[in-house]
Structures are given as structure tokens and as C-alpha cells.
Amino acid sequence: MNDRLIAAALAARENAFAPYSKFRVGAAIEDALGRIHTGCNVENATYGLTVCAERVAVFKAISEGARKFRRVVVAADTELLTPPCGACRQILWEFCGDVELDLVNLAGKMETYRLKDLFPKPFDASYL
């Protein structure tokens, strides 16, 4: 997998703080200018305050001034590729729209989706 965004997601996964679940996830988002923003999951002893890699990457990108995005990669060490959870799908939709989403694992397996295929009827500002 010779792809900068995939490499960034795999590298971000190495920084995950997952002492409880041992489930380490990395995410990388490419903005409209080609910049890459990464995130990893960060667990907390209360579990409910844990933050997923995808949300960390989105919030980091927003905090760095990015507003438009091209693509997202989520990397985990699982045989079945790991899609974003419901909360992450909502955040990805709100900030990235119908972005291309690649799921990858450490063995080189990859699947590509559009976010609307994983999140077919999202709640967004159009309902407000």
C-alpha cells in the first residue's frame, strides 16, 4: 500500500492509547489542499469519555483551519475491516460530507466506500 494517507493512518494507529480494550485505531483525513490530519483512539478509564480516531482526526483538522475534505482512511488490526462507529459517522458527515472512506488493516486488505453508503440517512443542518 504505497499511499500517503494510508501510511499516515497506519502510523497514527501506533500512537493509540488503548490500555483497556487493546483495540488500536488510526485515522487520516486529507483536506482540500492536500494536507493530511491524523488521529488515534484515546481511551479513558470511564470508557464513556473515550474518543475514536476518526473524531480526533476531524477535530484536529478543524482546529488547524481545514474546512473541506477529500478522503478519510481508518486503519485497525482486524480481519474484518473496521468501519467508523455511529458517532464518528455523524461527525464525518457533518464536517466532511459524502467523502471517500477507505478501511484498511495491517495485512494490506482495503475496502473503499462513500460515506453515504455507510450512513444513508444522516441528520444534518438541513433538518434544523
What pTM value is reported for the model? 0.95
Q: How far is CA 7 from CA 28, 36, 60, in A?
A: 9, 11, 18
From the list 17, 63, 13, the residue with the least C-alpha distance to 39 is 13
Predicted confidence band of residue 2 (pLDDT cuts 50, 70, 90): low
Whether 1 shows a pLDDT value over 80: the answer reads: no
Q: What pLDDT, on a 0 to 100 scale, did the predictor assign at position 93?
A: 97
Return the active site residues. Answer: 54
- Does the pLDDT value for residue 26 go beyond 90? yes
CATH fold group of domain 4-127: Cytidine Deaminase; domain 2 (3.40.140)
Q: What residues does each domain of the chain span? A: 4-127
Task: Please report, to the nearest 10 degrees, the dihedral formed by the alpha carbons of residues 14, 21, 42, 110 taken in order.
Answer: 50
pLDDT for 70 equals 97
